[in-house]
Amino acid sequence: MTGVIASDARGARRAPLIVTEDVDLLDDLLRLCAAAGVRPEVGHGVPEGRGCWEAAPLVLVGDDAAGRLRGVTRRRGVVLVGRDQDDSGVWKRAVEIGADHVLMLPDGEQWLMDRIADVVEGVGRPATTVGVIGGRGGAGASTLA
């Protein structure tokens, strides 16, 4: 798979980490990453060491791997990804691993692809925003805006 290996100004990698052993789910997640233009890091079991788990800006955990990740360090940016819309136990597993979001494919593909693209692009520079409100008619707010 070709793709960008994005990094920020400090040289830290800005690519998601995928943790799953479900081949079909992995295929879908790799396809979404490719569409967003990034090559993710893939782990098939519990991430060894804390480095890749804590350094990844976004972690996509397959529902099949959630049970093995119960003891990992809590962090932001964890998305539990599954396929079974009728599985009510997914919410319990999401809480156990500290997931920010629970996502079911294929319904959540667009949201996930947007989230992956946001990770690749990074946060933009802060900008000044100016709002113009006219206090009464003829104040010139429409012309200025």
pLDDT at residue 113 tops 70: yes
Which of 45-59, 84-98, 103-117 comes out lowest in average pLDDT? Answer: 45-59
pLDDT given for residue 7 in this prediction: 46
Q: Compute the distance between CA of residue 33 and CA of residue 39 in angstroms, rounded to an integer.
A: 6
Q: How confident is the model at residue 9 (pLDDT cuts 50, 70, 90)?
A: very low
Q: Compute the distance between CA of residue 6 and CA of residue 1 in angstroms, rounded to an integer.
A: 15
Model pTM score: 0.76
- Residue that has been written with the tokens 């990770």 in this structure: 119
Q: Where are the domains of the chain?
A: 17-144
Q: Compute the distance between CA of residue 22 and CA of residue 31 in angstroms, rounded to an integer.
A: 14
| Across 71-97, average pLDDT | 92
pLDDT at residue 20 tops 50: yes
Strands 101-104 and 41-43: what pairing?
unpaired
pLDDT at residue 25 tops 80: yes
Count of CA atoms in the C-beta half-sphere (13 A) of 84: 9
Higher pLDDT, 10 or 24: 24
Domain range 17-144, CATH class: alpha beta
pLDDT given for residue 50 in this prediction: 62
pLDDT at residue 4 tops 50: no
Q: How confident is the model at residue 133 (pLDDT cuts 50, 70, 90)?
A: confident
Nearest residue to 78 via CA among 92, 66, 64: 66
